[in-house]
Amino acid sequence: MNDPDSSAPEVPPLVPSGTPLNLEDFRRAARVALPAPVFDYLEGGAADEHTVAWNEQAYRRKALAPRVLTGHTGVDTRCSLFGAELESPVLLAPTAAHGLFHADGEIATVRGAADAGALLTLSTFSSRTIEEVGAAARRPWWFQLYVQRDRGLTADLVRRAREAGAGVCVVTVDTPVTGWRERDLRNGFALPSHGRPANLAGAPTHAVTGGGIHDPRIDPAVTWDDLEWLRGVAGLPVFAKGIQRADDAGQAAERGLGVWISNHGGRNLDTARPTLDVLPSVVARVDGRVPVVLDGGIRRGTDVVKAIALGATAVAVGRPYVWGLAVGGREGVRDVVRALRRETELAMALTGVASLAGLTPDLLVPHLSA
């Protein structure tokens, strides 16, 4: 007997076989594409990596309570930050040494971000120079700064970034020392030449005494007054990145500094609180005076929705777009950001919300079994 369906045309799949559909697919593909020590450098956190896991788990402890019959016929994810018009509230957080993951390094990243209507925050420790990235940029981008022991070098980095077109200076404040990263120690990992910081080539390295835990370049003694000085030097809006307490967020807001909630992706202090848990108290203390950006653990569009509903102005991802860079260069970065935007649009539509302003805390309820 003939199969009654044998003459029916074959329906092609919605996406080609093997195409990454979500951020976890990109992570798995990056693990295959990268040498094991390089993948560990990207994925690893401090000590037992509890905070790395907690950042993601925090989102699963919040359940969504969608509204229905709202009559909305479209979803608008657009976001504006310091003059940058973005297609969604997803930024690319600063991550070092993109040359480890793709031959084009940060050039591919800044172009992929622009293709997706997003912006890159360029790391001080980028493998391409500030000037190269600025020349390649087609949309707004920001510069992340580690304050150097050499204040002249610090001021020069900020000047270079401003002249190359950076719109904001993001100062990392949570790294007086780097974390105890056991994956790298076990692998004996050291940055190869194509991953070393191009912006610091030829810069003097200061001698360090008193225990050997400090970086010879990064200044561990930075204070709030130094950030005031930096804002004057930069001539740009300044974020304090690495805020993990409401009182510190209040200090930043009082000084007109943007607040970037981050625990460095769990790479510095293990058992630091997940960033989503910090967010409500920070938002309450800041009280709308300055923007609040949050990173750490964003893996789905529902995560974006939850963070915005709890008061974040925008969110940032780090590891996920580097997975995309490793898998597909510029196109991989673009596709990761687009995947998050698509999921965010779906989550907003399904919760009955038409714009970011409609994402409010009442859309979330505790889910303690997670």
Domains and CATH numbers, the chain: 27-366 (3.20.20.70)
In this structure, which amino acid lies at residue 309?
Answer: A
Digits of tens for pLDDT over the chain (370 positions)?
444 444 555 555 555 667 899 999 999 999 999 999 999 999 999 999 999 999 999 999 999 999 999 999 999 999 999 999 999 999 999 999 999 999 999 999 999 999 999 999 999 999 999 999 999 999 999 999 999 999 999 999 999 999 999 999 999 999 999 999 999 999 999 999 888 999 998 776 654 445 567 787 888 889 999 999 999 999 999 999 999 999 999 999 999 999 999 999 999 999 999 999 999 999 999 999 999 999 999 999 999 999 999 999 999 999 999 999 999 999 999 999 999 999 999 999 999 999 999 999 999 999 865 5
SS3 327: helix
Q: Is the dihedral of CA 108, 146, 316, 236 positive or negative?
A: negative
d(CA 134, CA 137): 5
pTM exceeding the 0.85 threshold for the entire prediction:
yes
Token readout for 240 is 């304090």
Q: Which residues pair with 86 in a beta bridge?
A: 79
Q: Is 50 a catalytic residue?
A: no
Q: Read off φ and ψ for residue 80, nearest 5 degrees.
A: -120, 130
Structure tokens at 165: 């077109």
**Dihedral sign, CA of 69, 301, 337, 17?**
negative
Q: Which residues pair with 238 in a beta bridge?
A: 169
Of the residues 50, 206, 264, 367, which is catalytic? 264
For 334, list phi and psi in degrees, rounded to 5: -55, -45
pLDDT value of position 2: 47
On whether the CB atoms of residues 276 and 56 are closer than 8 A, the answer is no
Do the Cβ atoms of 329 and 33 come closer than 8 Å? no
The span from the CA of 8 to the CA of 4, in Å, is: 8
